Amino acid sequence: MAKGTAHCTCKKCGKEFTREAFKYNRAEATRWEAWAVEYYDECGDCYAARKAAEREAENQAAAEAAKEQALPELTGSPKQIAWAETIRQKRLQSIQEAMGDEATWEPHQKQFYDWVTGHTAASWWIDRRPDYYPSFLRRVAEEFQAETGWQPEK
């Protein structure tokens, strides 16, 4: 094992920082160091600031989309609401894509969509965030069936 240490410079703020990696031998570590000096051009502080700005922009876009769609306001702390708005927008978009054109929805599909959008607790959306989309859809469909008693036709 050989440790490679790359001494890099942030292209945005000019701050110097290091990146480290363990490789199988010295030659591989040396190649990695040369590559890393060219590749890593953003320090941790600038990266964190850039990601925070991207999240803020995504949250703002989700909040504006929710207002345009006349979705009910979410409840919770301001940070939870901002995060949940983004999650809700992505999940609702996926549901709409899966169910097709709204004009062709069956009555139970409309009822399901209204039931999902009726959840106003930010925590409800955040708690379901880690679910992969099919798992999310299956989970909320089971909750919908349990709450409403609706059963699919066989």
Q: Are 98 and 121 part of one and the same domain?
A: yes
Q: Report if residue 153 sits inside a domain.
A: no
Domain span including residue 10: 2-42
Tell me, what's the pLDDT at 54? Answer: 95
Q: Are 116 and 140 part of one and the same domain?
A: yes
Q: Report if residue 78 sits inside a domain.
A: yes
Q: Report if residue 10 sits inside a domain.
A: yes
- Summarize pLDDT for 38-95 with one digit per residue, the tens: 999 999 999 999 999 999 999 899 889 888 888 999 999 999 999 999 999 988 888 8
Q: Are 104 and 69 part of one and the same domain?
A: yes
Q: Are 81 and 126 part of one and the same domain?
A: yes
Q: Are 12 and 69 part of one and the same domain?
A: no
Q: Report if residue 76 sits inside a domain.
A: yes
- Summarize pLDDT for 3-20 with one digit per residue, the tens: 999 999 999 999 999 999
Q: Are 18 and 63 part of one and the same domain?
A: no
Q: Are 87 and 132 part of one and the same domain?
A: yes
Q: Report if residue 17 sits inside a domain.
A: yes
**Number of separate domains in the chain:** 2
Q: Are 64 and 19 part of one and the same domain?
A: no
DSSP assignments along the chain, one per residue: -EEEEEEEE-TTT--EEEEEEEESSHHHHHHHHHHHHHH--S-HHHHHHHHHHHHHHHHHHHHHHHHHTTPPPPBS-HHHHHHHHHHHHHHHHHHHHHH--GGG--HHHHHHHHHHHT--BHHHHHHTTTS-HHHHHHHHHHHHHHHH------
Average pLDDT of the chain is 90
Q: Report if residue 108 sits inside a domain.
A: yes
Q: Are 17 and 91 part of one and the same domain?
A: no
What is the mean predicted confidence (pLDDT) over 96-125?
89
Q: Are 66 and 128 part of one and the same domain?
A: yes
Q: Are 18 and 66 part of one and the same domain?
A: no
> Where does the pLDDT of residue 129 fall: very low under 50, low under 70, confident under 90, or very high at 90 and above?
confident
Whether this model's pTM surpasses 0.85: no
Q: Are 31 and 69 part of one and the same domain?
A: no
